[in-house]
Amino acid sequence: MEFEMDRFINTLIDRSPPHALEHLQLVLIPLVIAFIIAFPVAVLLTRQRFIKYTDRVMAFFNMGQTIPPLAVIAIFFPFLGLGRTPALFALTIYALLPIARNTLAGLKGVPREVKEAARGMGMSEWEMLLRVEIPLSMPVVMAGVKISVVLTSGTAALGALVGGGGMGAVIFAGIDFFRAELIIAGTLIIAAIAIILDRILTLLSNMLTPPHMKI
């Protein structure tokens, strides 16, 4: 395989940006949907009434992570067909577990005595959730979101295989035409996306947490 600098730079600057934008969508849309699903579900699972369902629900999230996204797309092909929708769907399922798992861990890690004192002071269940449990578990929850971001950034490359677009299109073109420039450029941009998103989320998380509680 040969390497031409001109082609590499051309790929990086001219060819990639629209794909990178698509890729960003393939990461962010599933992430937001996964958060909207996994976070409230995990919060519910720590409430007294729903604790008994924890194992069953988490088994579902585990499954979402174990089944390869391509297999998910294959299974749902009859309903969703090919293109962006099944790619977003598969990636959403893939992103659920770290968020749900870390939300559970974060909420369970809230010190007992803090909850006991909060209840003894007369906080309602809602006040306790909003003012004590969620703020205290935020660093752990955000760590889960960051894991999901990194995982999804990499996996989203497979979206191209089913016509979902993204940086995968560049990489697979490089593989098909034996072009190292395309493969490396594509990979670099994916890595950059993962790192930038991770940094943004870290900043966000730090804004929500007092300095001594960062992880």
Partner 1 sequence: MIKLVNVKKVFPGTVTPAVNEISFEINEGNICVFVGPSGCGKTTILRMINRLLEPTDGDIYIKGQKVKDLGVNPDQLRREIGYVIQQIGLMPHRTIEQNVALVPRLLKWPENKIKPRVKYLLEMVGLEPDKVSKKYPYQLSGGMMQRVGVARALAADPPIMLMDEPFGAVDPILREKLQDEFLKLQKEMKKTICFVTHDINEAIKMGDHIVIMNKGKLVQHGTPMEILANPVNDFVKNLLGVDRGTKLLELTKSEEMVERAEEIPTEISNKNCFILAIDPVQRALELMMKKDADIVGVHDGNKFIGTISWENIKKHINRISGDEA
Residue that the structure tokens 């034996």 belong to: 178
Nearer Cβ to partner 1, position 110 or 194? 110
d(CA 43, CA 107): 8
Shortest gap between Cβ of 135 and partner 1 (angstroms)? 5
Q: Which element (helix H / strand E) includes 87?
A: helix 84-108
Stretch that binds partner 1, among 28-36, 39-47, 186-194, 206-214 (CB under 8 A): 206-214
Binding mask 128-147 for partner 1 (x = CB under 8 A): ----x--xx-----------
CA distances from 202 to 97, 119, 142, 173, 209 (A): 19, 31, 8, 33, 11
Asked if residue 66 binds partner 1 (CB under 8 A), the reply is no
Nearer Cβ to partner 1, position 7 or 119? 119
Q: By CB under 8 A, what part of segment 106-125 binds partner 1? A: 111-124
Looking at 148-209, which runs of residues are DSSP E strands? Answer: none
d(CA 123, CA 51): 21
Residues that bind partner 1 (CB under 8 A): 111-124, 127, 132, 135-136, 209-210, 212-213
